[in-house]
Structure 1
Amino acid sequence: MKRILAGIIVCMIMLFPVRIYAENWDGLDVLLDNSIQFVQEEEYDKATEVLTYFSQQFLKHERVDANKVLPEHLRTISLAYDEALQSLETEGIDKQLKMDNILALRLVLDAEVSTYQPLWLERKQNVMDALANVEKAMEKEDSISFQRSLNKLLHEFDIIYPSLTISLPEKQLQRVNAHLSYLDEFRHMMLKNKSGQTQLKVIKEDFVEVFQEVKRDEASFSLIWFMIITGLIIFLTLTYVGFRKYKAEKDKKKSTVHSKNRS
């Protein structure tokens, strides 16, 4: 019986989904991945066609889906789409920027339709690396490196920001907005002012918390469902094993009675 229970638990760990999607949205993410791939190959016309088709399918799913996207979320997704489409249709824009704009749309769509563990969390290392470079440049008082690193950090947030507007609580999002505004508006004063380093430490703590808070909530959600489902399966297994044992003993008694009657 222990082997049966152990086997069930192992299977649950392997099969329990890390991320769950709404059924009706399957395939839209693939379209965006294809569009990114076309940009990578510099097939911009094809990338635009796929992105346009994505928009049509998105609206189609939105009309038939019982769980409607919240109006504010729909605006966020629409803005991300417009940004991606405009970058594809504009000549002279860097290929990487085109890809990043589609990626931003890909991430915000995922943030909307995935039940937990959104893909934008995987951009944490990119954000933290960019922030670390900002810190190093500030310590060395290297203005050129500081501005370049800060541009990279702000760009990383451009990619995930639409997703943050969907995933984060309002107060936390406001703090992120305040930090991003500070970094952009006071970028030329931070190296000259000692308070810049102090403020950067506060910003770093809050940025780290952005990723940790979401992961903590999702881990709790996953653990609760895992415990419920595992507990239910164990209960059913024990019930089944107990029933078989009871049935075997009952059959054994019947067999003994029949043997005595024959005697």
Structure 2
Amino acid sequence: MRQVIMAMVAALVLSFPMSIEADESTSLHTWKELNHTSDQILQLVKREQFEEAKQLLDYFSVTFLDVDFQQEGITMTALRTVTGSFEGAVEAVTATNMSIDQRIYKVTAFRLAVDALSSEHHPLWLHTEKSVMQSLATMKETAKDGDNQAYQHRFNEFLRHYDMIRPALFINIEPQELQRIDSQITFLERMRSESLDKDKVVSHIEVMEAEWTNLYNRVKEDSADPSLWWVMFTIGGMITMSLSYVGYKKYKAEKQKVRVKE
């Protein structure tokens, strides 16, 4: 019995990757291609090869329009978001007077939006956690010091980060959650024209830190691959069955020994 259970576990482990490979569809390959193309565009912009980036953007547009959005279950809101970020990327590679940093920010926003639309698990924008949280922490420190000029500079940096990832957030999170984040930022922007009330600002930034921490943690949990959890639970269950069976056999053997002694 034990050998049979362990053989089932081994067969499951060996067959699982093959089942995933067999389920790959043309649609999946198309999304992988779009995701890869958006990454290539970003790398070209970083190397300031704008003409080559523009050609890849044209290719992306043609490939993207071949997707059956209705069949893929893509909403009009998500489509408008990706289209808007695409237009920003085109502007970044065609503008005659734009800093390289601004170009990279715009194309990165496009890259993250495409990934958010195409990645079923663990979207790329989750990797911005360290930079966003560090930006909030720096804002809080400058506010504590009462240095209004330094605080305004750090706040502008945070806004650039947020503008870069907002299209991806628009695709991946609930509207009410995004609205809550927007309202928190709007509150700080309204206070810019006033003298720096450091206690009020610090308190509000701490609320934002908690909001962003919860956001990143929740999306990490929600984006875990369910097939992986299925394998873990299934294999875990079989191993438990095997151990239970071994334990039961040992218990019966010990009980038999007691009877023999008696």
2:59 pairs with 1:50: no
Identity, in percent, stands at 25
Q: Deviations over 1:15-57 (max 9, x none)?
A: 999xx99333121122112212221221111111111211111
Counterpart of 2:48 in structure 1: which amino acid? E
Question: Residue type of the partner of 1:76?
Answer: T
Q: Is the 8 A contact 1:77 1:109 kept in 2?
A: yes
Tell me the SS of whatever aligns to 1:66. helix
Q: Which residue of 2 aligns with 1:83?
A: 88
Please tell me whether the aligned partners of residues 190 and 196 of structure 1 are also in contact (alpha carbons under 8 angstroms).
no
The 3 A distance-change label for structure 1 pair 199 and 31 is same
Structural RMSD (CA): 3.2
Q: 1:175 pairs with 167, 177, 180, which one?
A: 180
Instruction: From 24, 32, 37, give the equivalent of 2:38.
Output: 32
Match of 1:147 in 2: 152
Q: Which segment drifts farther, 74-83 or 105-114?
A: 105-114
The one-letter amino acid paired with 1:144 is Q
1 CA distance for matches of 2:65 and 2:170?
21
Query: What is the deviation of 1:180?
Result: 1.9
1:102 to 107, 112, 127: 107
Unpaired stretches in structure 1, ≥5 consecutive residues: 239-263
Unpaired stretches in structure 2, ≥5 consecutive residues: 243-262
Residue of structure 2 in register with 1:189 after alignment: 194
Change in 2 beyond 3 A, CA 1:5/1:212: same
Q: Is this contact kept in 1: 2:116–2:168, CA < 8 A?
A: yes
Partner of 1:205: 210
1:134 offset after TM fit, Å?
0.4
Gap change, CA 1:99 and 1:222, over 3 Å in 2: farther
- CA distance in 2: counterparts of 1:102 and 1:56, whole angstroms: 18
Give the counterpart letter for 1:142 in structure 2.
D
**Of 86, 93, 117, the match for 1:112:** 117
Q: Is the 8 A contact 1:12 1:230 kept in 2?
A: no
CA contact (8 A) 2:116 2:172 kept: yes
Q: Which of 113, 123, 129 is matched with 2:128 structurally?
A: 123
2:35–2:118 CA contact under 8 A, matched in 1: no
Deviation for aligned residue 1:218: 2.5
1:91-143 Cα deviation digits (max 9, x unpaired): 22111221221111111111112112111101111101111110111111112
In structure 2, do the counterparts of structure 1 residues 55 and 220 end up closer, same or farther at CA, with 3 Å as the change threshold?
closer
Q: Kindly tell me: are residues 135 and 190 of structure 1, through their superposed partners in 2, closer, same or farther at Cα, counting changes over 3 Å?
A: farther
Q: Is the 8 A contact 2:92 2:103 kept in 1?
A: yes
Cα gap change, 1:52 to 1:5, in 2 (>3 Å): same
Number of matched pairs: 232
Kindly provide the CA deviation profile for residues 154-184 of structure 1, in whole angstroms up to 9, marking residues without a partner as x. 1111111011111111221111111121222
Task: Indicate the residue corresponding to 2:97 in structure 1.
Answer: 92
Query: Which residue identity is paired with 1:41?
Result: R
Shift in CA distance, 210/12, structure 1 to aligned 2, threshold 3 Å: farther
Q: Which amino acid aligns with 2:39?
A: D
Q: C-alpha distance in 2, partners of 1:127/1:201?
A: 13
Contact kept in structure 2, 1:29 and 1:110, CA below 8 Å:
yes
Change in CA separation of 1:88 and 1:7 when aligned onto 2, cut-off 3 Å:
same
Between the aligned partners of 1:181 and 1:11, the Cα distance in structure 2 is 53
Amino acid at match of 1:154: L
Q: Quick one: distance in 1 between partners of 2:189 and 2:78?
A: 25
- Residues 190, 182 of structure 1: alpha-carbon distance in 2 compared, 3 angstrom cutoff: farther
